[in-house]
Structure 1
């Protein structure tokens, strides 16, 4: 790999219509002045040359870079102004300080460093990450039916749950944001190199925005083909520490655990609930909980009604512990009919259309373990790892042979 900056083309690429929004411009919260105007070929922090754009989001743009000092590829996540990532750095510091032989630690994306960039409208934090491939969310688009088979699902779940066991028991960290976009497949230097060479030989299209004082280019992202292996857990910015009192809003709407919806204190068991919802996302193109009302607005009343249909009514003590339980249920724990409870919404009815290539009943039992109203009724990550369905096919004994 070249260890000196390379010269990238400044012409010869398709120039996109400046009136048509692309990439980060399509986001509802987009403000141009918040984003640092990265351009391909630029050297950041006197060390990292940007060689391709590989992603974007509400809080950042993501770039493939070459570390000129270490002669290796890295991923550069350049955050918008006003977004400090000190908390994420604290989480990584705790993880890195945890001395362990637990294999779960090796399944978390590595943070290689960080620095700051002074842009035309303020300061930007840039995190330097281990380069990886596609997210599981994007990878599923390339699979038949956009879903995984059961054996691949179980392999992913075993690694994820083992990673959570490390986070919960040794690092004392709760992830709180398990979703397909935060599970990244391993990278491959061959494909990373191809992305760089593509920008040299046939540069990706870009949009040129000339607003006078600070002209900028908005590049189109490349798809980085993953290598072989299971996905690694990434995006630790929403993590919380177990040795603190945790309450308040976390998790994307459809993934929220009951204690979060009902404004109760929560702990690491929110991640266990999250595993159940995420597992369904891997084998179905439809999220387990929809939550949308007739006006296409995510509505807690609809969400809770779907949970009641799927899990049955919550235990009375769960309702009484919640400061908002009375909003949804009468004193005798009967539903207030804030939204209709779908009569035909069961795991079995939702799973009827799945192209399962294995034990559907085993999957349902696994999900019912994780999806419990009361956090204390859910297994720990370590206990969930012993599930019979999850271990099936490995030739290993399991502790959970119950139906």
Structure 2
């Protein structure tokens, strides 16, 4: 058992408290491997701190007992049980995409901004379930967490622009290699780590002041330890829903980030990632999300599309003809016919941080990504050269 010599040094939470992964929708205790601090996985990776959790995994800082001191700390994602095809597919996709991208030849600067697997293995839980474990080089906090540290919940302008160019460079590498990420958002962009001492401090903090946890007969549920600020470049992470190849179909993307072709059941390609970058401009810099897309807290395609019409104008008729689902919302000329009113707003009005020519350039930049026809969205490398980046940050 971890921390036996100071068994009461941590704060034990009441058993009735719901914390961390216990609060995810559809939670089942036996879906999650019961990781414990101090445990050694695969006779190699000793768990030293909890970093986070999600619907499909818990994430931990671990020490590689076979590595040199300077490279000993890793991040390990312990996936939920391979009980459902969705969880199996996401772990398998992460492994397959990493294996493929590591085989891609040629030099591309975007390769430096992609987080790929170091290795992977499977473990068996006491419940008899199998769990994939994915090992990575450690990274810092998400861009969501970094943004929330600013008083107005918006990145400083020069940091915002530099971040965008790095993300676009990483996406250009992916797209040239034939990979669509499908899940671009601030939650999947993490800061790099330049100085390993930051992570060593995290490990030491867990030893000196163990994090609170809820102790149950068959497992402990730990509170995630907050990540410190690190100063490396942003890195694109989480390839569990990535696709390889040019054309695809099916539902993808975070709810408020879905491109119109996805909502309307059309074929889609790598341009969905560029739509997501366009939406992300508001999450990172404009103090608000671009789309609400909900009625009484429930996601609504109709509301989402009405908001798109208000910001982009009506879709062109040739776009409407690509999906039968369009008939629920548009006539053959692209006019809105659904019951939800189209809001009175524009992209120019929704931009609140800039003024003058720079504001105009920002809106033009956003419009290049936020357009109905995906084939009209520029490539990532073309967007890196946009006039918006030519304005000097003051």
Scaled to the shorter chain, the TM-score interval is over 0.9
Q: 1:26 aligns with which of 23, 39, 45?
A: 23
Which residue number corresponds to residue 399 of structure 1? none
User: Shift of residue 110 of structure 1?
Assistant: 3.1
Deviation readout 1:240-277 (Å, 9 max, x if unpaired) = 1124x401101011111111111111111111111100
1:336-355 residue pairs with structure 2 within 5 A?
Answer: 336-343=337-344, 345-352=345-352, 354=353
SS of the aligned residue for 1:134 comes to coil
1:116-265 residue pairs with structure 2 within 5 A?
Answer: 116-121=122-127, 122-169=129-176, 171-187=177-193, 188-210=195-217, 215-243=218-246, 245-265=247-267
User: Shift of residue 97 of structure 1?
Assistant: 0.3
Q: Does the CA contact (< 8 Å) of 1:149 and 1:357 recur in 2? A: no
Q: Does the CA contact (< 8 Å) of 1:9 and 1:203 recur in 2? A: no
Distance across 1 between alignment mates of 2:356 and 2:29: 47
Q: Does the CA contact (< 8 Å) of 2:328 and 2:338 recur in 1? A: no
Which residue number corresponds to residue 103 of structure 2? 97
Q: Does the CA contact (< 8 Å) of 2:358 and 2:391 recur in 1? A: no
Distance across 1 between alignment mates of 2:200 and 2:259: 41
The structure-2 alpha-carbon separation of the partners of 1:160 and 1:357, relative to structure 1 and needing over 3 Å to count, comes to farther
Distance across 2 between alignment mates of 1:280 and 1:377: 21
User: Shift of residue 381 of structure 1?
Assistant: 1.0
User: Shift of residue 323 of structure 1?
Assistant: 2.1
User: Shift of residue 59 of structure 1?
Assistant: 0.5
Q: Does the CA contact (< 8 Å) of 1:8 and 1:200 recur in 2? A: no
Which residue number corresponds to residue 358 of structure 2? 359
Q: 1:267 aligns with which of 266, 269, 283?
A: 269
Which residue number corresponds to residue 367 of structure 2? 368
| CA RMSD across the alignment | 1.8
SS of the aligned residue for 1:232 comes to strand
Name stretches of at least 5 consecutive residues in structure 2 with no aligned partner.
Answer: none
SS of the aligned residue for 1:259 comes to helix
The structure-2 alpha-carbon separation of the partners of 1:335 and 1:106, relative to structure 1 and needing over 3 Å to count, comes to same
Q: Does the CA contact (< 8 Å) of 2:320 and 2:332 recur in 1? A: no
Q: 2:32 aligns with which of 32, 35, 40?
A: 35
User: Shift of residue 233 of structure 1?
Assistant: 0.4
Q: Does the CA contact (< 8 Å) of 1:8 and 1:41 recur in 2? A: no
TM-score by length of 2: 0.93
Distance across 1 between alignment mates of 2:49 and 2:256: 33
SS of the aligned residue for 2:299 comes to coil
Q: Does 2:110 match 1:111?
A: no
Deviates more, 1:8-17 or 1:19-28: 8-17
SS of the aligned residue for 1:379 comes to coil
User: Shift of residue 92 of structure 1?
Assistant: 0.5
Name stretches of at least 5 consecutive residues in structure 1 with no aligned partner.
Answer: 395-403
User: Shift of residue 331 of structure 1?
Assistant: 3.0
Which residue number corresponds to residue 284 of structure 1? 286
Distance across 1 between alignment mates of 2:31 and 2:286: 36
Which residue number corresponds to residue 79 of structure 1? 79
TM-score by length of 1: 0.91
